[in-house]
């Protein structure tokens, strides 16, 4: 089964472009709210790094979610989209002074701090403004997520976070600082996680750390468990809305909370991933030795995930219902890695056919680059074609 696209309307716009199915996005957001809403103290922050398209952001804002930012530019985009600063969490291993100052000026909800030197600078900058910065420590829980090596973040050897051994010392330092308010712990173990046992392992680790804190009579108000819930790239239509019910229920079952503790989630891919597709046009069908190439007008400049992480995106010829043949689907960029897929079954391809790269709503448009002096792709939503 192919995706559902207003193909007749696509002929009026230049390819390549991103198309976002806003009905699916709205249903996904409603499901997130319904499932997280079953538990009193669960708060979801959308990880804006997955997709910061303004039309997409406006729909996410309507749903009432908070936002997880990893840069000052993302804080700006979040505020411009109308989200309240009080629902922004700000992570990142290398926050610049201006980014920290922006967060302080806007009174964001929390800085997720990843090192002692960073904590010292936040304390200094907050003092200069006579403010107290709310801070959570990102602890590296040394829990391995069963996902691609480039997108695991919670192992000891990753650059992210503070080690568990250093946690007590860092908290002691923070408690002494006049312009820091220590409010919680933050974790994020990786991305595209479909095996719930990874999240169970994280819960167990958080429970251990909480016990350690409790023994020191430290009770924190906020536990931020990060994001990472994956989507089905192989079958974008089978379960277009990820299983948020099981996801939140897993945390509810395994994460032990103290009275009044609030839990924060930072979901990116699972919210916008399935609603987006990259639409491109076939420029040439080229016969190679023992194979044929479908050469598209989109390349790694529009969707870098296949080149960057050998990621799989389902590819569909949405123009043709002809007999299926195998193609290597490639872009026009001068890089050998500019390949979307090898020996891909497609309905017979001819010049001018439209090709959809499915499940490209997260880490797609936002990662587009101008390499080869290319123009950044437009992003359209369903409403643009009505």
Ligand X SMILES: *Cc1c(COP(=O)(O)O)cnc(C)c1O
264 versus 314: smaller Cβ distance to ligand X: 264
CB of 170 to ligand X, least distance (A): 18
CB of 229 to ligand X, least distance (A): 6
Residues that bind ligand X (CB under 6 A): 47, 49-50, 68, 70, 91, 188, 191, 226-229, 266-270, 362
What is the C-alpha to C-alpha distance for residues 139 and 186, in angstroms, rounded to an integer? Answer: 6
185 versus 229: smaller Cβ distance to ligand X: 229
CB of 50 to ligand X, least distance (A): 5
CB of 311 to ligand X, least distance (A): 13
CB of 68 to ligand X, least distance (A): 5
Q: Is 378 exposed, middle or buried (0-12, 13-18, 19+ CB in 10 A)?
A: middle
What is the C-alpha to C-alpha distance for residues 70 and 7, in angstroms, rounded to an integer? Answer: 36
CB of 377 to ligand X, least distance (A): 20
43 versus 49: smaller Cβ distance to ligand X: 49
47 versus 52: smaller Cβ distance to ligand X: 47
CB of 145 to ligand X, least distance (A): 10
Helices 97-106/72-80 angle, 10° precision: 30
The answer to whether the beta carbons of residues 52 and 80 sit under 8 Å apart is no
CB of 17 to ligand X, least distance (A): 22
Helix H or strand E segment including 327: strand 324-330
- Looking at residue 382, what DSSP letter applies? G
164 versus 194: smaller Cβ distance to ligand X: 194
Q: Which residue is nearest to ligand X (CB)?
A: 268
The answer to whether the beta carbons of residues 193 and 148 sit under 8 Å apart is no
What is 197-255 written as a DSSP string? HHHHHHHHHHHHHHHHHHHTT---SEEE----B---SS-TTTTSS--HHHHHHHHHHH-
Instruction: Taking the CA atoms of 15, 358, 295 and 363 in sequence, report the sign of the dihedral they define.
Output: positive
200 versus 285: smaller Cβ distance to ligand X: 200
Nearest to 265 by CA among 280, 274, 255, 275: 255
Cα 286 versus chain centre, distance: 36
Nearest to 255 by CA among 187, 200, 176, 314: 200
81 versus 267: smaller Cβ distance to ligand X: 267
Instruction: Taking the CA atoms of 256, 260, 265 and 266 in sequence, report the sign of the dihedral they define.
Output: negative
Both structure tokens of 32: 């997130």
CB of 90 to ligand X, least distance (A): 10
210 versus 270: smaller Cβ distance to ligand X: 270
179 versus 191: smaller Cβ distance to ligand X: 191
Cα 301 versus chain centre, distance: 19
């Amino acid at each position: 089964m192919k995706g559902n696209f207003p193909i007749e309307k696509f002929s009026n716009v230049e390819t390549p472009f991103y198309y976002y199915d806003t009905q699916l996005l709205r249903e996904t957001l409603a499901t997130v709210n319904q499932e997280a809403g079953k538990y009193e103290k669960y708060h979801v922050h959308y990880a804006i790094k997955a997709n910061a398209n303004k039309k997409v952001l406006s729909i996410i804002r309507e749903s009432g979610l908070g936002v997880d930012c990893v840069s000052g530019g993302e804080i700006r985009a979040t505020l411009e989209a109308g989200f309240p600063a009080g629902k922004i969490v700000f992570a990142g291993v290398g926050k610049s002074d201006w980014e920290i100052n922006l967060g302080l000026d806007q009174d964001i909800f929390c800085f997720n701090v990843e090192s002692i030197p960073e904590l010292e600078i936040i304390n200094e900058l907050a003092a200069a403004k006579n403010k107290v910065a709310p801070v959570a420590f990102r602890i590296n829980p040394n829990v391995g997520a069963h996902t691609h090596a480039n997108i695991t973040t919670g192992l000891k050897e990753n650059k992210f976070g503070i080690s568990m051994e250093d946690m007590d010392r860092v908290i002691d330092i923070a408690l002494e600082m006049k312009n820091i308010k220590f409010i919680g712990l933050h974790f994020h173990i990786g991305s595209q996680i479909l095996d719930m046992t990874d999240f169970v392992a994280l819960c167990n680790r958080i429970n251990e750390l909480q016990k350690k804190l409790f023994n020191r009579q430290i009770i924190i108000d906020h536990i931020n468990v990060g994001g990472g819930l994956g989507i089905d790239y192989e079958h974008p239509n089978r379960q277009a809305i990820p299983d948020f019910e099981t996801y939140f229920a897993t945390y509810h079952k395994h994460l032990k909370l103290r009275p009044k503790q609030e839990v924060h989630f930072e979901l990116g891919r699972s919210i916008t991933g399935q609603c987006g597709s990259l639409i491109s046009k076939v420029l040439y069908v080229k016969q190679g030795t023992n194979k044929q190439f479908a050469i598209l007008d989109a390349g790694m400049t529009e969707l870098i995930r296949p080149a960057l992480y050998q990621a799989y995106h389902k590819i569909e010829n949405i123009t043709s219902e002809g007999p299926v043949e195998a193609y290597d689907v490639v872009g026009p960029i001068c890089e050998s890695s500019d390949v979307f897929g090898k020996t891909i079954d497609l309905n017979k391809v001819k010049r001018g056919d439209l090709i959809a790269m499915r499940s490209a709503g997260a880490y797609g448009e936002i990662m587009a680059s101008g390499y080869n002096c290319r123009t950044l792709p437009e992003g359209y939503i369903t409403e643009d074609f009505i």
